[in-house]
Copies of this chain bind each other. A is one copy, B any other.
Amino acid sequence: MNISDMRRVILGAPIPTTEAAHQRLSKAKALAVFSSDALSSTAYATEAILLVLIAAGTGSLGVSMWIALGIAALLLIVAFSYYQTIHAYPNGGGAYIVSKDNLGKMPGLVAASSLLIDYILTVAVSVSAGVAALTSAFHGLDPLRIEIALVIVIFITVMNLRGVKESGTFFAIPTYAFVVGIMTMIVIGVAKVIMGDVTPVQPPDAETLAEATTASGGLTLFLVLRAYAGGCTALTGVEAISNGIPAFRSPESRNAGQTLLIMVALLTTMFLGITFLANQYDVVAVEGSEQTVVAQIAEAVLGENIAFYYLQLATLLILSLAANTAFADFPRLASLIARDRYLPRQLTNLGDRLVFSNGIISLAVLASALIVIFGAEEHNLLPLYAVGVFLSFTLSQTGMVVHWLKERHEEGFTPDWEWRFHIGLNAFGAFCTFIVLIILAVTKFVEGAWIVTVLIPMLVFLFIRIHKHYDKVAASLTLDGLQPGHIRELFPDQGHVPVVVLANSLNRCSLQAIEYAVRFSDNVRVCAIEVEPDAVIRLKQKWQEWHLNVPLDVVPSPYRAIGAPLIEYLHKRDIENPQGDPTTVVLPEFVVSTWWEKLLHNQTSTAIRDALYRDQIARGRGRPVINVPYRIGDELYEPIAVEPLKKGVTGKLRPPTTD
């Protein structure tokens, strides 16, 4: 089985470009692909609030419901903003596009870099969290956590390389399993609350509680803000759909918008439901606790039975597969940035399964690097997380404010209050997300958020350098300033290109190259670099014998180098050429079939290539190089110019010339 067969087994048969429209996602699948990140955050958002509030004692935990309502309000504002964006930018309008279009290049690039960094973090964090859930069940696997995390990343990568539709089908299962599980728990839990059938969960022992209650001043505004910021992780992933509009079936904007609404409805219900039940069942979260808040609620509501374990498993799966949302969005966003020439063009290539393979692989490599560096410990990575998302939220909402200001006359908002409403909503959203961003950056700065504040400008700098390079290339390549002309009429006489064939011995390989050269030019010379004097003596003898009618130049190389004498010789030839054209170099070359045979050859040609490359850089002018490969094998190449003694191939034979 060769590589191409293996590729087909792993990735599936190639999909033709014309199939692109059929590879789009239905709303049900798109919901699974683009919302696993957002929905999975309900597994830990409530806990993030409670963990902060406990510092002011158990009595303050009731505030969590108000904080959750505040977060839900913010979520609705952000979601509504993106709903508007989806319709305003039907070709995919994430924070990058919106910021770039409305705020300018730099804000766009900042949004782009914070989103890219956050997607990489999403993969690293969510896979690490999945592994943590697994190893807390099977302690024996703990030494293998990095390996397991990398296997999961490879698995998700392969699924995504197989194609959007296929991975959508596959990853839909855990997402819906999680939604059904949480919803069932909420329904039963709320029913029990209504019926007054509530058994509060066992509180932690007094010592643990006393230890957790650290804020001597009781519930301060700062504590509430920190709790709010912590709970805002519920918002991560909300932007995913706006980046992925082109993956939806037509009409893309409408389908994407509806999917966004469904996602937000689910997310809000689940988040508020969990927080409500946590309050009703007196759930307390402390650092280092063995059971998560959701697990405590589930145990209290469902009891420790099959339903409880089902929910635990579904949580584990969605946590590690939240990474899939990043795999759906990162390559798309990277391709948009690359299309604008701020990232390598290869990121815009559609692979043979119609996905941005290079983007998928880049994401996998970068996330794997993070996993290895941070030892697959998600709590090391969490402080880096969320800052990027809220930066992009703020930029995107601010962008929408400018958008409405610009478009207010064109779009035909009949009532004046309509655009005022749009602007007000987005401005309020921008303000709120900006506040959260500041809180996040301040509270998490020392723990690792500073890394992100360093990485974002670095990435922006990289974008700009790449863009400058492509600009330079474009300026070098432009046909501006030239007029079309008939090439053929200007070169009536082909066949006088100055050519030098490099050869240190005369054999079938070099003979083939010489024959090739004389077939297209009457200005051919052969050049031998005199590294070993003996070899040159042998070559000269053979040259006499074969009287090939092609001049042989021997270039001395007292220090046995190849590059420098060759370049010097070529420069001498160049001067002799009409119009100073660079002399063409012909390299006879061996073709062998195995890697170890390659090791035995062509070291010289590497040195020649290096020297030619450096000369081109220095002179600012390219020099054409012709490789004439000679296949080493059982079949002999039959020279055309000379008669073989044995039977040759018909049609190639010419009468020999006698001297």
**What is the chain B residue whose CB lies nearest that of A580?**
B651
Q: Please state if A550 and B497 are interface contacts (CB–CB under 8 Å).
A: no
**A1 on the B face (CB < 8 A):** no
Q: Please state if A560 and B521 are interface contacts (CB–CB under 8 Å).
A: no
Q: Please state if A521 and B494 are interface contacts (CB–CB under 8 Å).
A: yes
* Interface flags, A450-494, vs B, CB<8A=1, else 0: 000000000000000010011011001111011111111111011
Bound together, the chains give a CA A345 to CA B479 distance in angstroms of 48
Among candidates B486, B560, B599, B631, residue contacting A620 with C-beta atoms closer than 8 Å: B631
Q: Please state if B479 and A506 are interface contacts (CB–CB under 8 Å).
A: yes
Q: Please state if A642 and B482 are interface contacts (CB–CB under 8 Å).
A: yes
Among candidates B485, B491, B522, B545, residue contacting A519 with C-beta atoms closer than 8 Å: B491
Among candidates B14, B350, B643, residue contacting A485 with C-beta atoms closer than 8 Å: B643
Known contacts being A469-B597, A518-B494, A520-B497, is A617 close to B646, with CB within 8 Å?
Answer: no
Q: Please state if A616 and B591 are interface contacts (CB–CB under 8 Å).
A: yes
Q: Please state if B520 and A520 are interface contacts (CB–CB under 8 Å).
A: yes
**A600 on the B face (CB < 8 A):** yes
Q: Which of A273-281, A416-424, A633-641 contacts B (4 or more CB under 8 A)?
A: A633-641
**What is the chain B residue whose CB lies nearest that of A350?**
B560
Among candidates B486, B511, B654, residue contacting A548 with C-beta atoms closer than 8 Å: B486
Q: Please state if B640 and A629 are interface contacts (CB–CB under 8 Å).
A: no
Determine which residue in A489, A624, A657 has the highest number of CB atoms from chain B within 10 A of its CB, and name it: A624
**What is the chain B residue whose CB lies nearest that of A475?**
B636
A634 smallest CB distance to B (angstroms): 8
Known contacts being A470-B600, A625-B626, is A484 close to B546, with CB within 8 Å?
Answer: yes
Bound together, the chains give a CA A633 to CA B488 distance in angstroms of 28
A634 contacts across to B, CB distance below 8 A: 620
Q: Please state if B600 and A659 are interface contacts (CB–CB under 8 Å).
A: no
A141 smallest CB distance to B (angstroms): 31
A561 smallest CB distance to B (angstroms): 6
A571 contacts across to B, CB distance below 8 A: none
Q: Please state if A466 and B600 are interface contacts (CB–CB under 8 Å).
A: yes
A626 smallest CB distance to B (angstroms): 5
**A216 on the B face (CB < 8 A):** no
A624 contacts across to B, CB distance below 8 A: 516, 626-629
A561 contacts across to B, CB distance below 8 A: 14, 352
Known contacts being A626-B626, A632-B472, is A481 close to B352, with CB within 8 Å?
Answer: no
Q: Please state if A476 and B508 are interface contacts (CB–CB under 8 Å).
A: yes
**A380 on the B face (CB < 8 A):** no
A390 smallest CB distance to B (angstroms): 31
Integer count of this chain's copies in the complex? 2
A497 smallest CB distance to B (angstroms): 4
Q: Please state if B630 and A622 are interface contacts (CB–CB under 8 Å).
A: yes
Bound together, the chains give a CA A481 to CA B521 distance in angstroms of 27
A262 smallest CB distance to B (angstroms): 34
Bound together, the chains give a CA A507 to CA B485 distance in angstroms of 14
Q: Please state if B482 and A558 are interface contacts (CB–CB under 8 Å).
A: no
Bound together, the chains give a CA A613 to CA B348 distance in angstroms of 26
**A16 on the B face (CB < 8 A):** yes
A313 smallest CB distance to B (angstroms): 39
Among candidates B469, B481, B600, B630, residue contacting A600 with C-beta atoms closer than 8 Å: B469
**What is the chain B residue whose CB lies nearest that of A465?**
B596
**What is the chain B residue whose CB lies nearest that of A544?**
B484
Known contacts being A478-B507, A627-B624, is A617 close to B639, with CB within 8 Å?
Answer: no
A626 contacts across to B, CB distance below 8 A: 584, 624-627
Bound together, the chains give a CA A509 to CA B344 distance in angstroms of 19
**A289 on the B face (CB < 8 A):** no
A473 contacts across to B, CB distance below 8 A: 590, 601, 632
Bound together, the chains give a CA A481 to CA B126 distance in angstroms of 70
A532-547: which residues lie under 8 A (CB-CB) from chain B? 533, 542, 545-547
A74 smallest CB distance to B (angstroms): 40
Bound together, the chains give a CA A575 to CA B372 distance in angstroms of 54
Among candidates B487, B549, B628, residue contacting A515 with C-beta atoms closer than 8 Å: B487
Q: Please state if A644 and B560 are interface contacts (CB–CB under 8 Å).
A: no
Q: Please state if A591 and B622 are interface contacts (CB–CB under 8 Å).
A: yes
**What is the chain B residue whose CB lies nearest that of A643?**
B483
Bound together, the chains give a CA A50 to CA B394 distance in angstroms of 83
**A645 on the B face (CB < 8 A):** yes
Determine which residue in A482, A558, A561, A644 has the highest number of CB atoms from chain B within 10 A of its CB, and name it: A482
Q: Please state if A641 and B344 are interface contacts (CB–CB under 8 Å).
A: no
**What is the chain B residue whose CB lies nearest that of A586?**
B624
A258 contacts across to B, CB distance below 8 A: none
Determine which residue in A473, A521, A550 has the highest number of CB atoms from chain B within 10 A of its CB, and name it: A473
- Given A473-B601, A487-B641, A625-B629, 7 additional A-B pairs, CB 8 A: A18-B558, A482-B639, A482-B644, A485-B641, A485-B657, A488-B522, A622-B628
Q: List 21 A-B contacts (CB under 8 A).
A: A16-B558, A17-B558, A351-B560, A476-B631, A476-B633, A476-B637, A485-B642, A485-B654, A487-B514, A487-B518, A488-B549, A489-B549, A489-B657, A490-B654, A491-B518, A494-B522, A520-B520, A617-B631, A620-B634, A622-B637, A625-B626
The 9 closest A-B pairs by CB, nearest first: A494-B495, A622-B629, A495-B495, A14-B559, A477-B507, A488-B549, A16-B558, A485-B642, A484-B546
A residues lining the B interface (CB < 8 Å): 14-18, 344-346, 349-352, 466, 469-470, 472-473, 476-479, 481-491, 493-497, 506-509, 511-512, 514-516, 518-522, 531, 533, 542, 545-550, 558-561, 579-580, 584, 589-593, 597, 599-601, 603, 613, 616-617, 619-637, 639-646, 651-652, 654, 656-657, 659
